[in-house]
Structure 1
Amino acid sequence: MSQGGMGGCRVLGQVWGGWWRGPGVGSARKVASFGTEARRQLQPRGSSKRSGTLGNQPFPGLLQPENLSREELVHVLRASVVDQRGPLVTLNKPQGLPVTGKPGELTLLSVLPELSQSLGLGEQELQVVRASGKEASGLVLLSSCPQTVSCLQKFFTQSRRARTPTATYWAVTDGIPATSEGRIQAALKLEYVDDVGLAVPVKSPSRKDLLEGVKRTLSHFRVVATGPGCALVELQPLTVFASQLQVHMVLQLCPMLGDHTYSARVGTVLGQRFLLPAESTKPQKQQVLNEALLRHLRLTPAQASQMPLHLHLRCLHLPGPRPRDAPIELLAPLPPYFSRTLQCLGLRQQ
């Protein structure tokens, strides 16, 4: 898919060139994966539970952020830096770590002051510019320069208005989309069930619906590889809505692996899949996978119930420091458990 239309970099002006001239102290090529360095940072504590070192467990490298101390989380995030250029810092966020949360909750936002100090930024505290959601892994863009934050946010807003994708996700799906690539469009609204916000499709929304919170959403998708009843899918959202990508893949009858919330909306009769009404389908406690897929994954049903969401923000596209410069591509390596799944399912990029 085209990544053109980067002319929005003109809004950044000299501010953009200023931060980009800062020394780069890391690169995506230098970091093999989030799990490698992060586990090394935590191993001196001697706790495999805290470090997420799962050995022969089915989800290697999976951390449990809720079991980490503030100090440990800062070590993990510092080890997860894939690029740092002046005040702009790019992390490879672990799956399950929330960006924001309730007061007192351990989140990415709550430890940014300590992370800023750890990265040598002094009193210039980092701010979140772009981040993958709690259940997703992958890129987080931070900056300690308010002007850079403002310029980047303007760039992302202009890109959305121009329908130019700036983020590329990878997902592993239960099922194979009917077409190798295409667009997924759906009007979505947020409904609360037992105090949990769920994205629900709305057919033929009226003008009143759109005024009351219903949003038209759009994503590009492309099948990267297929395996036995599964696929590796590249996704590029062109709009922003909670759980947009998970719901879009459910509408393709191909829920993501580890989607324990929305996968219940896909039913099966005599091997044929169909959509169940979202309004009357309550989320299940765990995703139900067929025996053949479990066998390929080498998982028991109990293990599958603990499977993390296989959604990874792999790439961000930014404008170059000056209007004539080539776009910048930031990459985040896959988590170890994601790579293990690809290997078990024989999903290799063509």
Structure 2
Amino acid sequence: MGGWRVLGQVWGAWRRGPGVRAVPSASGFGTEAGHQLRPRGSRNRSRPRGDQPFPGLLQLENLGRKELVDVLRAAVVDQKGPLVTLNKPLGLPVTGKPGELTLVSVLPELSQSLGLRDQELQVVQASGNAVTDGIPATSEGKIQAALKLEHVDGVDLVIPVKSPSRKDFQEGVKRTLSHFRVLAMGSGCALVQLQPLTAFPSQLQVHMLLQLCPVLGDHAYSARVGTVLGQRFLLPAESTKPQRQVLDEALLRRLCLTPSQAAQLPLHLHLHCLHLPGVRPREAPMKLLAPLPPYFSRTLQCLGLPSLPAGKRGVGGGMNLPSDLNE
């Protein structure tokens, strides 16, 4: 998944740091304009080419640690004191197993390269707009669900919990809330603007799943939506294993993808706009805009959906940091 990642020298992972708070907004989706990053040399493509149907994905096998740090330096959009904002390259995982090349694994080298010396970088992340397989029943609303994280067959998966008890909450179940708004519809899909009001792993993916509209490229949870005679329903989460997302033939034709290419479809969930408070007291808030990944723009083009506008106040998926993002 592409989009913005915010790094701060004194922020612990999932812990609130000084001067970081949600920015109030009348609509919940917009404040003042600020910075915008434009991709270099990227173009929308109407058709996939060969075995690389999704342009812009980072090929980690071709990079060493030093080369990855150089890539991340080039992706830095804004740096003010302890706050570094970068557009994380597509295909780079945030975390992974010991010894794997990830964003977190090279943060010490990136900190040195940016002149932060011994100051530690940590990651804060959020998500914004999504293309969904299916159209929500209502044009906008809120999604509330109690979620828990379970280790199933060696994989951490998020499971909805119906009617959770007090004991459930003591054991890690959390109430979650997201707002959504359908921006456009076409070819049985929707472009949806999302704003999480809480933070939980895979929250937005699971919330859209509960609307029977899995995110395109969701190979972890989309199998939980079944179809009988054209009607969608939820399968039991506890007994449904992750599998590659299966798209119907009409949608594959519209996306100009073969079934094998669709099995590699990246997750179409992108943080397009992020609002941050000023680093210092009385400093104006910042609005940070990230361009769509090439594969995301290509999908919108194939589906006849409008691309997200850039640089306009309150339009295109403004995202305030959830109030408990770092808890």
How many aligned residue pairs are there? Answer: 272
- Structure (1 or 2) with the greater helix fraction: 1
**Structure 1, 186-195 or 105-114: larger mean CA deviation:** 105-114
Give the equivalent residue in structure 2 for 1:300.
258
Q: Is this contact kept in 2: 1:183–1:221, CA < 8 A?
A: yes
- Between the aligned partners of 1:66 and 1:206, the Cα distance in structure 2 is 46
Give the equivalent residue in structure 2 for 1:32.
38
1:99 corresponds to 2:94: yes
Question: Gaps (5+ residues) in structure 1?
Answer: 1-10, 14-26, 38-53, 133-167
Structure 1 residue 211, shift from structure 2 partner: 0.9
> Residue 64 of structure 1: which of 21, 46, 59 is its match?
59
**Structure 1, 95-104 or 289-298: larger mean CA deviation:** 95-104
Q: Is this contact kept in 2: 1:218–1:239, CA < 8 A?
A: yes
Q: Is this contact kept in 2: 1:95–1:308, CA < 8 A?
A: no
Q: Is this contact kept in 1: 2:223–2:240, CA < 8 A?
A: yes
Give the equivalent residue in structure 2 for 1:178.
137
Structure 1 residue 334, shift from structure 2 partner: 1.4
Identity of counterpart residues, as a percentage?
75
Structure 1 residue 55, shift from structure 2 partner: 6.0
Superposition pairs of residues 122-271 of structure 1, within 5 angstroms: 123-132=117-126, 169-271=128-230
Structure 1 residue 122, shift from structure 2 partner: 5.0
Question: Gaps (5+ residues) in structure 2?
Answer: 1-17, 21-33, 43-47, 310-327
Identify the structure with bigger relative contact order (alpha carbons < 8 Å, sequence gap 6+). 2
What is the root-mean-square deviation in Å for CA atoms of aligned residues?
2.3
Give the equivalent residue in structure 2 for 1:76.
71
2:187 aligned partner, one-letter code = P
- Between the aligned partners of 2:118 and 2:140, the Cα distance in structure 1 is 43
Give the equivalent residue in structure 1 for 2:267.
309
2:122 aligned partner, one-letter code = V
Give the equivalent residue in structure 2 for 1:278.
237
1:315 aligned partner, one-letter code = C
Q: Is this contact kept in 1: 2:69–2:110, CA < 8 A?
A: yes
Q: Is this contact kept in 2: 1:82–1:332, CA < 8 A?
A: no
SS in structure 2 of the partner of residue 308 of structure 1: coil
Q: Is this contact kept in 2: 1:28–1:333, CA < 8 A?
A: no
Change (3 A) 1:281 1:70: same
